[in-house]
Amino acid sequence: MATQTASAAQTHQQLFIGGAWGEAASGARFNDQNPFTGEVIGTVAAGTREDARRAVEAAASAFSAWSRTPPAVRQRIFLDAATILERRRDEVVGLLARETGCTFGFAMFQMGFVPGLFRQAAGLAYAPLGQVLPSDNPGTFAMGIRRPVGVVAAIAPWNAALILSARSIAAPLVAGNTVVLKPSQDSPFVGGLLWAQIFAEAGLPDGVLNVVTHAAGDGSTIGDEFAENPKVRRINFTGSSSTGRRIAEAAGRNLKRVVLELGGHNPLLVLRDADIDYAVNAAAFGAYLHQGQICMSTRRIIVEAPIAEEFSTRLAAKVAGLKMGDPLEMDTIIGPLINQAAFDVVSSRVSDAVKGGARLLAGGTWNGLVYAATLLADVPESSDLARHETFGPVAALEVVANEDDGVVRANASAYGLSAGIITGDPDKGLALADRIEAGIIHVNDQTVADEPQMPFGGVKDSGWGRFGGSAALDEFTELKWVTVQSGSHPFPF
């Protein structure tokens, strides 16, 4: 298998198709930019639909052999990939900062998560893939057998680039599928080509994993290829709800199943019996980790009236003290937003909300693409900030009279990804959790958490399907009903 040894993105990076590194068919390249400094850290091949088609062909050719690979081989490849990634830890942490503006703490979280994801995937190679089913027909032995689906297209975002791209390929590959990964134009290396390097070194056969990078604006035609090419049997998409809707529409027209992991507008309920110090720390972590660029970020903090004043004063003071600046400095909490377009959305939504009557309790300032941690109260119900996910370090505080009103407000959203409930009474928290419309709910914790084996996904506009452990195996396998008759049985004619 061909290898590319350049370890970082300072050089030119090529597409990885059929086990070979190469330029895009058009020969075009694009710049990979550091969002904090604006520096060009490398150039990357700008793939198009034609390259995506070649990658699907390569994946389709590799499928038959890979789907029959013994579990021991798949397990060994995933274990080796985990070890190789850990060996490259310092380089990858630096690249996460330089390519995606990721602060040290969140980069280390990603670096801890992904080796665990790969080691658990290694275990899944031996997961039972079927059941014996009782039949009412004498002499019939019936089974439900899970088989890989074929080529899986994986579309990943930039925001937790390492975790989300790794998650998009791990379960599909270990279940015996072949994959074409399309990373975001904002994370072509740490969200894509890195995996081509690591899995090639781990011995993954040619064509089993293919990576097609592309410049801004070309994601949709590559997505169209995935939706329309009959050799692609599943698409998994992690990204915004608006893009997910487009992909679901295109996939639906082609009767293709998709897994959609989309945006969130996640509520944190702080009840009157909460430990206020703990609640303040939880809310700040949930809202501002990775400068609020996490699908699970706490966006709406809903607090019961009796503790509202004390809680909001303490939270505002904490938020105002969060250090902003260079993500390469280890104590930076708030690094840059990913690009100018993201910055413009955040700043215009905050200023519109303030014009509409919202009160700024902290933040609202910026330096370059670094937008300060911002806390607002009295955000008008009709504002974009109140209605939509705003992917940055901005949270809205709201006061409710009691916990029932809190549940109503928590559910007053088109989204349903993650929620948190902070209370001194875990039993009450559990009862409330049952009433909240979200795919993920944490009692006595904020909204941001992930472990590779947990069923991860949302309801409503936050998506369909689940990643994580055996839930992901179900998404990327097809259940076949197979019977064997012992002897013959009578037919009516």
Residue 157 interacts with ligand NAD (CB under 6 A): yes or no: yes
Strands 178-182, 209-211: pairing is parallel
Write down the H helix ranges in 368-478: 384-387, 403-411, 426-433, 469-475
Distance CA 415, CA 461 (A): 5
The distance of closest approach from Cβ of residue 446 to ligand NAD in the complex, given in angstroms and rounded to an integer, is: 16
Q: Is the dihedral of CA 163, 164, 165, 168 positive or negative?
A: positive
Q: Is 343 in the site for ligand NAD (CB under 6 A)?
A: no
Q: For CA atoms 91, 95, 101, 106, give the dihedral sign.
A: negative
CB of 256 to ligand NAD, least distance (A): 13
Q: Which of 99, 295, 304, 389 is catalytic?
A: 295
- Closest separation in Å from C-beta 392 to ligand NAD: 11
CB atoms within 10 A of CB 124: 21
Q: Which of 57, 99, 225, 261 is catalytic?
A: 261
Distance (Å, whole) CA 203 – CA 78: 10
| C-alpha torsion 426→428→430→432, nearest 10 | -140
Long-range contacts of 322-329 (CB under 8 A, 24+ apart): 322/284, 322/288, 322/372, 322/373, 324/367, 324/370, 324/372, 324/373, 325/367, 325/370, 326/36, 327/36, 327/97, 327/101, 327/102, 327/103, 327/104, 328/36, 328/94, 328/97, 328/98, 328/104, 329/104
Burial label for 142, CB within 10 Å (0-12, 13-18, 19+), is middle
**Strand bridging mode 151-155 / 12-13:** unpaired
Of residues 164-183, those binding ligand NAD (CB under 6 A): 164, 182
Q: Rule CB under 6 A: which of 185-204 touch ligand NAD?
A: 185
Which member of 76, 119, 231, 246 binds ligand NAD (CB under 6 A)? 246
Told to check if 261 binds ligand NAD by CB under 6 A, we report yes
| DSSP type of residue 291 | G
328: helix, coil or strand? coil
Contact string 111-130 vs ligand NAD (x = CB under 6 A): --------------------
Smallest distance, ligand NAD to C-beta of residue 182, A: 6
| Residue closer to ligand NAD, measured from CB, 115 or 244 | 244
CB closer to ligand NAD, 103 vs 185: 185
Strands 394-400 and 459-460 come out as: unpaired
Binding flag, residue 263, ligand NAD (CB under 6 A): yes
By CB under 6 A, residue 264 contacts ligand NAD: yes
* Site membership for ligand NAD, residue 62 (CB under 6 A): no
Rounded CA gap, 116 and 469, in Å? 11
- Could you tell me the two tokens for 276? 């206020």
Would you say 86 or 228 has its CB closer to ligand NAD? 228
Per-residue mark of binding to ligand NAD, 363-402 (x: CB under 6 A)? --------------------------x-x-----------
Binding flags for ligand NAD, 439-468, as an x/- string (CB under 6 A)? -------------------x----x-----
Q: How far is the CB of 319 from ligand NAD (least distance, A)?
A: 21
- 271-300 mask for ligand NAD (x: CB under 6 A)? ------------------------x-----
Quick one: which segment of 109-117, 235-243, 343-351, 372-380 binds ligand NAD (CB under 6 A)? 235-243
CA nearest neighbour of 333 among 285, 299, 270, 298:
285
Q: Does the annotation mark 261 as catalytic? A: yes
Reply yes or no on whether 102 is catalytic: no
Q: What is the contact surface with ligand NAD in residues (CB under 6 A)?
A: 155-160, 164, 182, 184-185, 219-220, 223, 238-240, 243, 246-247, 261-264, 295, 389, 391, 417, 458, 463
